[in-house]
Amino acid sequence: MSNTNTESTTHNVEPRSANTLQRSERIRKKSLRIAEKSKKISERNALLYPSFAQSTVEDAPDESVAPGSTEQENKPTAKKTRRERLSNSKKHDSIGFSVSAILSAVAIILLVSLAVGLIFDLIPSGRRDLAFINISGSNDTLEGEYADSSTLTKAMSSVVVVSATSSTGASTGAGFIVAVSEDGNCDYIATNYHVVANMENIHVRLYESGDYVEATLVGFSEEDDIAVLKAARSGLPALTMANYKTCRIGDAVYAIGTPEGENFSWSVTQGIISAIDRILWDFDDNGTLEKTMRVLQTDTPVNPGNSGGPLINAAGEVVGIVTLKLGESEGMGFALPIDGAIEIISAIIEVGSADSIQSTISNKRGLLGITCVGVTEGHWYKLFSDKITESDAINGSFRADASGVYVMSVQANTAAHGKLKAGDIITEINGMRIHNLAQLSNIIYNMKVGDEVTLTYCRGGKYYSAAFTLGGQS
C-alpha cells in the first residue's frame, strides 16, 4: 500500500511538473518582453524628461516592494497554496518558488512600467515650465471652500516685498517665489514689470527674517506686465500654480501684498472671482488703443502695493498675478491669469525673455496706419487739415462716391503706406461691408499684429482691393 501510494503520487506529479516548467518558460519570455519594453520607455523618458527619469523611474522599484506592496501581499497566499497542493514534495516547493520568483519579478517590472507610463502621460508635451514651476494637478473646483489660517500663513512666507529705486524715483510692490534654481543657490521671483521698470537697484524683503536681499532682473515681458527677479536662496518654499481651468466665478480668492507701502506688508484681503477671462483695452496717452489684455477680475480689495503679488485660491495655489485696479472704483481688481503667466515666466527663466512665446494674455493692437472718418454716399463734405465736416454742394470740398470710411492721411512705414492714399473710401474689410468708422475700428481693434486683412476701397468712382499685414503701435 505504501509503495503503491508513493508510485501513484510520483506518476501524478511528473506531468504537473512539466506543465509548470513550460508555464514558467512562457512567463520568463513574457517578462523579458515586458522588461525590454519598459527599458525602451525609460530610455525615451530619460531623453525627453531627464529630471523625471532620474528621480521617479529609479525610485519606482523600491516603492514596488515596500510594505503592503503587491509582492509581499502575494507571498503568503502563494506559500499556502503550495503547501496544500504539494505538502510532501521538496521538488514541488523548489518549482513553486521559481514560479513565485518569476511572478514577483514580472510584478515589479509591471509596476515600473506603469509608473513610467503614468509619468509620460501626465507630462504635457511642449510645456516648458515643468522643469521650474510647481503646477497643481488638482481638478477640484474648491467651490464654497475658504482658506484656513495655516494655508494663508504658508502662502505668505513665499511672498516678498519688492523695493526698487533709480535716479528718477522709487517703487514698491510685491512678488512671490515661483521656483528655485537647478543648483539650489537662488530663488526666482515673479512680479509685475511696472514695479521694476527702468529701476537700477532692486531688493526683496523676506517674510520670516525680514531681511532685505539684493535682487537682479532676469528678464521681462512689457506687453504682459510680467518680470522675473533672481535673489540668493532664502530657504522659503515656492508657491504652487493652480490649475486655471478649475477657476469658477464665485470662488474665494485672497490677495497678499503691500498696500500703501511697507508698513502694511503681507496684508491679506479676501474676495471672490468676479469674472474669468475678462478683456481690457489699454489706450496710450493719445487715446489710441495699444493692446488688449486677458485678465481675471476680482472684488478682492487691492491697492498699488499689491502689484505683482499673488492672487491665491482656498488651497493656497496661485490663480493670478495682481496687476491693477480700475481707477477709484471699489471691488474692481484685476490679475493676470496664471495659465498664460506660467509660459511667460518659464521662458524668462530659461532664456531671459519671452520673445519666443505667443502670449495668451496680451494682444498688441493691429495697426493699419491711417486717419479716417465715416462718410455717406452722395453727401457733400468740407475738408480741413485735421478733419472733415458735412456740408452743402456750394461750400463743400467733395462729394462722397460711396458710403464707408474716408481716408484722410496715411502714415509712413505702416501697412497702408503705398497701398491707400488720402481720398480713398474703404467699403469692405475681409468681405464685410463697412458703413462707418465704428465698424472698421471694432474689427481692427480685435485683430493683432501680423494678422492679414483685405480691404476694398473706392477711388475716383472705381473699386479696388488690397491685402495688408497689420503692424503694431510703435
Which among 125, 120, 108 is positioned nearest to 43, based on CA atoms? 120
Q: Determine the Cα–Cα distance for residues 115 and 65; give it in Å rounded to an integer.
A: 13
Q: Determine the Cα–Cα distance for residues 388 and 423; give it in Å rounded to an integer.
A: 11
DSSP SS3 for 281: strand
Catalytic residue among 187, 224, 225, 401: 225
Catalytic residue among 31, 64, 194, 274: 194
Give the DSSP letter string of 33-85: HHHHHHHHHHHHHHHH-HHHIIIIIHHHHHHHTSTTSHHHHHHHHHHHHHHHH
Which among 395, 304, 342, 365 is positioned nearest to 133, based on CA atoms? 342
One-letter identity of residue 212: Y
Q: Determine the Cα–Cα distance for residues 209 and 92; give it in Å rounded to an integer.
A: 68
Cell output for 373: 472718418
Is 62 annotated as catalytic?
no
Catalytic residue among 307, 359, 362, 403: 307
Is 225 annotated as catalytic?
yes
Q: What H or E segment, with its residue span, contains residue 297?
A: strand 289-298
DSSP annotation of 417 = B
Is 307 annotated as catalytic?
yes
Non-local (6+) Cβ contacts of 82 within 8 A are: 92, 93, 96
Non-local (6+) Cβ contacts of 277 within 8 A are: 294, 295, 296, 337
**Residues acting as catalytic residues:** 194, 225, 307
